[in-house]
Amino acid sequence: MMPEPENCPGVQTANAGLASACQGCPNQKICSDPNKKLEDPGKALVAAALKNVRNKFLILSGKGGVGKSTITMLLTRYLSKKHTENNFGILDIDICGPSQPRLLGVEGESVHQSGSGWSPVSVDDNVCLMSIGFLLASPDDAIIWRGPKKNGMIRQFLSEVDWGTLDLLLLDTPPGTSDEHLSVVSYLRNDNNEEDKSLNAIIVTTPQEVALLDVRKEINFCKKQKIPIIGVIENMSTFHCGFCGKYSEIFPAKTGGAKAMCEEMNVPYLGSLPLDPELAKLCDQGEDITTLKSDTVDALDQICQHFVKFF
């Protein structure tokens, strides 16, 4: 490719090869090729900002209401207590429904800006959080944004937050496979190094088929985007009654639940978490769940064994 001529609109711009200054340029055909790969300049900024973040987990599910935010919080709380020498961060990219500030008990906190960027809110000695919930005047404020504005906010969170050194950054995502997901994957995936395994996905579902239908789409999204799937967690699998002691299936797994789906789609099954009213109460209050004696916390311990290799 010849050197860029004077008045060149830029080889990475939308006008490349199409502007009046491009007429007669020997590079015009190359620049106007619709198949040429454009590199978002924000990707380099994100890579620089996250250079000291060892692992990134996307918490995904095609279905809303299956408990992605709760699972994100539970994993962070439990892992941070088990691995006190490691540092953890949560990035809440559910722009229209940020719930991590409430779940982690830091509602009302403020984000401060320094010369190195926004400082995430400290939750514990080794846990920090960034969420758009900290930037709202009221937790009841509605965020009515189209895709490009959401994507711009995600880019800011990834490139302008001073995360410092983290062993694990968990990203709480909204339901689906649309703008936010494509944006965060494009910024975090290392297209130049296929050996880079720092970006992985955890899929969350409930046992009933109506949830599994959408979760299958999420699994296919990860496969198409070449994101390794650590495994699937089945949330709210059973309910243990504190009065009679019996177990009930609130969401019957008529097609075999998450375990059967994982066998069918050849992805790891990490385990299931029972529905626990006491744990749900602690989540609403933003309290630490790790001291609770329950089947759910025991099951969480088993699931967290799968992540030891990342530390």
The annotation status of 89 as a binding-site residue, yes or no, is no
The annotation status of 241 as a binding-site residue, yes or no, is yes
The annotation status of 65 as a binding-site residue, yes or no, is yes
The annotation status of 31 as a binding-site residue, yes or no, is yes
Sign of the dihedral through C-alpha 57, 82, 157, 192: negative
The annotation status of 64 as a binding-site residue, yes or no, is yes
The annotation status of 67 as a binding-site residue, yes or no, is yes
Question: Could you give the angle at the alpha carbon of 223 between the alpha carbons of 219 and 224, nearest 5°?
Answer: 115
Q: What is the 3-state secondary structure (H, E, C) of 263-297?
A: HHHCCCEEEEEEECHHHHHHHHHCCCCCCCCCHHH
Q: How far apart are alpha carbons 281 and 213 in whole angstroms?
A: 29
The annotation status of 128 as a binding-site residue, yes or no, is no
The annotation status of 176 as a binding-site residue, yes or no, is no
Q: CB–CB of 111/134 below 8 Å?
A: yes
Q: How far apart are alpha carbons 86 and 181 in whole angstroms?
A: 27
The annotation status of 108 as a binding-site residue, yes or no, is no
The annotation status of 283 as a binding-site residue, yes or no, is no
The annotation status of 81 as a binding-site residue, yes or no, is no
Q: What is the residue whose two structure tokens read 């969480």? A: 300
The annotation status of 51 as a binding-site residue, yes or no, is no
Distance spanning both ends of the chain, measured CA to CA: 45
Residue stretches of the annotated binding site for ATP: 62-69
Residue stretches of the annotated binding site: 8, 22, 25, 31, 62-69, 241, 244
Residue stretches of the annotated binding site for [4Fe-4S] cluster: 8, 22, 25, 31, 241, 244
